[in-house]
Structure 1
Amino acid sequence: MPELPEVEVTRLSFVDAIRGASIVAVRMGKPLRWPLGVQPERLVGQTVRDVRRRGKYLLIDLSDGLLLLHLGMSGSVVFTRDLPPAGKHDHFELQTSHGTLRLNDPRRFGAVVFAHDEADPLACKLLGKLGVEPLGESFQVAQFHQGLQSRSAPIKQVLLAGDLVVGVGNIYASEALFLAGIRPTTRANRISRPRAARLQQAIRDVLARAVAKGGSTLRDFSNAQGESGYFQLEAMVYGRQGEPCRVCGTTIKSLRQGQRSTFFCPVCQKP
C-alpha cells in the first residue's frame, strides 16, 4: 500500500505541471471504492488551483470544489500529455489543458471523491479523524507524549491507527521505532517523555528521508512520471528478517501485529 511518503512523492511529481490547468473532460472506468459524488460533466471547465496532501489523501483544489484522491492498496497515478489508450485497470482520467491525470488501480480500493470544500460533510467524514501531520509544525513532542499516555496498545499499533499522528504506515513505523530504539511491542503508555521525543524525531527523519528517496517501491509503486522509489534499499529492519542488524550485527527478527509484519532488532530496540 502506498504510504505517506509515496503519496507526497506522487504529489510533488505532478503538482507544478497541473497547477493552473483547465479540465476539458473526465473519463470514468469501473466503480472504485466510493462514487465520485457528482456528475463528471460538473468538473469540466474548472481550473486546477493546487494539489495538497492530507495523510494519504491527495487534495486537488478546483476553482469550484475539491477532489479527494486516495490510492488505496495498489493505486498509482500518472500525469502526462501523451498516454496510451486506457487499460482495464485505468478507472479515472482527468483530462486537462496541461495533460491527463490517470488513476490505475488493479484492486479498485482507491477512490476519487468530489466535495465542495474541506467543511463538506463528506470531506469531514474522510479527513476529520486523521491525526496531526508528522512533517508539519503541529507535530509537537508534548502533545505526542500526552497522546501516548492515553493508549495501552503496543506502540506500533498506535502509530498505524493514524488518529494520533497520520501516515506512519507499516514500513516507516518499523524504521522509526528502530531509529528511536523502541521495541514495537512496547505499550504506548509506558513510553517516557524522553523516549517519546526520540520517537517523534525519528518519525520525522524517516519520513523526510523516504520522500527524498522517492518513497519505497516494494511491488509496483511509481510516481506520476513513472519513476520508482529507493528508500527500501537502505531500510534498517523492514523486510530484513534473518539478516544481521546494520548497527550491532544481531539477527533481525519479525512478528505479526494486527495482521501486519513487524521487523525489529532485539538488541538495539528495548521494551
Structure 2
Amino acid sequence: MRFDVVTLFPDFVRQCAAVGVVGRAQQRELLQVETWNPRDYATDNYRTVDGRTCGGGPGMVMLIDPLRAALKAMREAAAEPVHVIYLSPQGARLTQGRVEALAKLPRIGLLCGRYEGVDERLLAHEVDEELSIGDYVLSGGELGAAVIIDAVGRLQEGALNDAQSAQQDSFSDGLLDCPHYAKPVRHALGDVPEVLLSGDHAAIRRWRLKQALGRTWLRRPDLLVQRALDKESRALLEEFRREYAQSERERLANDAAEQ
C-alpha cells in the first residue's frame, strides 16, 4: 500500500510514519509513504500557498493552484489509482469499519489543510471524501493524516507480528476490547484473574467476551444499540451486569462503613 500526503509540513509526516508498526512496515516494504509540499508548486517568488478569504473575516485559505499542481504530480507518480481524502472536522467520522475498507485500497492520498482550510472549489473537483478524526479542531490535517496512516497501515498483511492482534482490537467486532494482563501474576495492585491462568481455552474465550460486552456497556453503550447480540452474548452481558451491580453495592457499603 502507498500513502501520498500533500502537506506544508512533510518532515512532520515522515517522522510520524517512521516509528513503531508503520515504520517497521515501511522497512519490510509493506507500506510506502511519500509527501508533496504545495510550496514546491507555487509560481511566485514567495512560494505563496494561501490568500485572504473572500467576503472578509480572519484567517487565510489555501489556494487552488499550488494544491492542484501538487495533487497532479502525486497522481502521476505511480500507476495505481489514488483515493484522495481531505482531513477535515466537517468530514465523516473515522471508524474502524472505514479503516478496514481503506486498508483494501492500493493507494491513498491525504490532503492536509491549514489556516481556515482549503478553497471549496478544489475540494469539489479533486477530493473523493472528507474524513474527521473527532469533533474538535486542530491546527492542520497532519495529525489526522498520521492517524489514518497508522490505523490503515497496521492492517496490512505482515505489518503486525501476530495477525490476531488486529482481529482482537477494540471496534474490530463492534465491541471494546477486553482487559489484558501480564506477569507478575500476584502484585500489590491486584492479581491476574484466575480464569486466565486455567488453561481452559473455552472458559477464557467466554470470560474475554463477557468483559468486552461489559466494558462496552459501561463505556460505549451506543455500540451495543447498533449490534444484534446472539443468545450467548445476551446471557454473558446479563451476567456481567449482575456482577457489576453486586460489586457496586459492596463498594458503597464499604465506603459507608469507613465514614
TM-score relative to the length of structure 1: 0.26
Which structure would you say has the larger Rg?
Answer: 2
TM-score relative to the length of structure 2: 0.27
